[in-house]
């Protein structure tokens, strides 16, 4: 607290990112990074960038990268916006496209950065409850709004909705922007990008942090009608003309062009997810069907916080949200390497086995 702060700062409740532990040897399954590092072509591209050219500013409009994204998705470069992580792209979308008189709508259980952006930019918002099965029901969004945003698949549930539902939302909502945050789309959800050519009110955001193993490089992008992209660019150029440095641009291009490496790590993550789900179900966990590189699971005999603490004692970090109450018993678990997933399942087996005969209230020591 300081008298030097602007009034808006007093009212902020900043986003709290998942822990990035400084301790070595932790099994880190808490922030949905890819357990496999970037491919050799990315490393080569980064090394090539480490030279004299670093004295020069990077390309402010990231032409090569926007072209690489456009090629990958079959759109035009002018339909692509890139930013310093999809968090930055989303922040600009809130300011450029979702700040209107009517409230922006998003699920009550979702990516917790959305309300943070609203408070930062003074945007009214309304949280729309997920169903009892923790699903997004698009009919609930058919009400006056200044925009709609949701992740598909949703985080932290991992559940996704189909393109038919998104299309009906876009049709019914033609006078405001619908942002589909596809941070985890590559793990089994159908992308809404093909709808962009038919719906000028659709913006789809992606990240290279998850399926492309580049959380440390901070690259995200949005695809949408060129007018939406121009709105984002106007905000970007009123904030930071060079959000992506030379390393980020070069590494992202190399990652997007290396489909073979992407396919290899994707296959391993998908296989580990399948096995982890079945191992956890065998231990009595309820696992929400996931189309992401994480799962959302609870055990009827345990409090979520208790399991998270016990795992931490065994050097395994997962994500637990104590609010809202209806997800407090769930854990969000990132899919790790096969060895990490096997270790997790075996430690959970010990925890569940030791407590199997005790009632829930006596599980905590
Ligand atoms: C739903 C969702 N959207 C966006 C992001 C931001 O990703 P990044 O800023 O790393 O691109 C995350 C990160 O975890 C996320 O879970």
The Cα 352–Cα 357 span in angstroms is: 9
pLDDT for residue 115 is more than 80: yes
Q: Which of 113, 150, 153 to mutate to test the pocket of ligand 1 (most atoms within 8 A of CB)?
A: 113
Strand positions, DSSP E, 209-334:
220-224, 286-287, 294-298, 316-320, 331-334
Residue nearest to ligand 1 atom 13, measured at CA: 183
pLDDT for residue 357 is more than 60: no
Q: Which of 28, 30, 111 to mutate to test the pocket of ligand 1 (most atoms within 8 A of CB)?
A: 111
Bridge partners of 149, per DSSP, are 179
Select the more confidently predicted residue: 361 or 267: 267
Structure tokens at 205: 């955001």
pLDDT for residue 233 is more than 70: yes
Band (356; pLDDT cuts 50, 70, 90): low
Whether 32 lines ligand 1, by a CB cut-off of 6 Å, is: yes
| pLDDT computed for residue 141 by the predictor | 97
pLDDT digits (tens, 9 = 90+) for 288-314: 999 999 999 999 999 999 999 999 999
Centroid of ligand 1 to alpha carbon of 27 (angstroms): 20
Whether 86 lines ligand 1, by a CB cut-off of 6 Å, is: yes
pLDDT for residue 280 is more than 70: yes
Position in ligand 1 atom list of the atom nearest CA 110: 1
SS3 content of the chain, % helix, strand, coil (to 5): 40, 15, 45
Band (361; pLDDT cuts 50, 70, 90): very low
pLDDT digits (tens, 9 = 90+) for 33-86: 999 999 999 999 999 999 999 999 999 999 999 999 999 999 999 999 999 999
* Contact predicate 107/150, CB 8 Å: yes
| pLDDT average, residue stretch 273-296 | 97
| pLDDT computed for residue 20 by the predictor | 82
pLDDT for residue 365 is more than 80: no
In percent, the amount of the chain with pLDDT more than 90 equals 92
Whether 220 lines ligand 1, by a CB cut-off of 6 Å, is: yes
| pLDDT average, residue stretch 267-272 | 98
| pLDDT computed for residue 353 by the predictor | 80
The Cα 345–Cα 353 span in angstroms is: 12
- What single DSSP character describes residue 100? S
Whether 93 lines ligand 1, by a CB cut-off of 6 Å, is: no
The predicted model scores a pTM of 0.95
Centroid of ligand 1 to alpha carbon of 330 (angstroms): 20
* Contact predicate 118/140, CB 8 Å: no
pLDDT for residue 173 is more than 70: yes
Whether 291 lines ligand 1, by a CB cut-off of 6 Å, is: no
Position in ligand 1 atom list of the atom nearest CA 87: 9
| pLDDT computed for residue 355 by the predictor | 63
pLDDT for residue 360 is more than 90: no
| pLDDT computed for residue 246 by the predictor | 98
Whether 181 lines ligand 1, by a CB cut-off of 6 Å, is: yes
Whether 209 lines ligand 1, by a CB cut-off of 6 Å, is: yes
Whether 205 lines ligand 1, by a CB cut-off of 6 Å, is: no
């Amino acid at each position: 607290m300081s008298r030097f702060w602007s009034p808006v700062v007093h009212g902020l409740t900043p986003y709290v990112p998942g822990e990035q532990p400084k301790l070595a040897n932790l099994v880190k399954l808490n922030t949905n990074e890819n357990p496999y590092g970037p491919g050799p072509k990315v490393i080569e591209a980064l090394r090539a960038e480490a030279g004299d050219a670093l004295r020069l500013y990077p390309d402010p409009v990231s032409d090569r990268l926007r072209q690489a994204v456009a090629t990958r998705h079959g759109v035009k470069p002018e339909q692509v916006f890139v930013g310093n992580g999809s968090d930055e792209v989303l922040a600009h979308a809130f300011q450029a496209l979702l700040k209107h008189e009517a409230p922006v709508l998003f699920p009550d259980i979702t990516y917790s950065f959305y309300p943070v952006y609203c408070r930062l930019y003074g945007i009214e918002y309304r949280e729309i409850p997920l169903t009892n099965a923790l699903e997004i029901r698009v009919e609930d969004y058919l009400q006056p709004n200044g925009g709609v945003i949701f992740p598909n698949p949703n985080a932290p549930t991992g559940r996704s909705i189909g393109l038919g539902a998104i299309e009906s939302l876009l049709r019914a909502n033609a006078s405001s922007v619908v942002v589909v945050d596809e941070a985890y789309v590559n793990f089994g959800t159908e992308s809404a990008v093909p709808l962009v050519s038919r719906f000028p009110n659709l913006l789809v955001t992606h990240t290279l942090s998850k399926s492309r193993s580049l959380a440390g490089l901070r690259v995200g992008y949005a695809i949408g009608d060129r007018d939406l992209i121009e709105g984002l660019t106007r905000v970007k150029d009123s904030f930071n003309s060079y959000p992506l440095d030379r390393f980020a641009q070069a590494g992202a291009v190399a990652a997007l062009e290396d489909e073979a490496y992407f396919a290899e790590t994707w296959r391993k993550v998908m296989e580990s997810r399948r096995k982890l789900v079945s191992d956890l179900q065998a231990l009595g966990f309820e696992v929400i069907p996931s189309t992401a590189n994480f799962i959302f699971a609870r055990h009827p005999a345990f409090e979520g916080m208790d399991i998270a603490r016990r795992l931490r004692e065994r050097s395994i970090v997962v994500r637990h949200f104590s609010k809202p109450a209806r997800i407090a018993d769930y854990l969000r678990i990132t899919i790790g390497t096969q060895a990490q997933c096997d270790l997790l399942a075996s430690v959970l087996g010990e925890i569940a086995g030791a407590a199997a005969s005790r009632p829930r209230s006596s599980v905590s020591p």
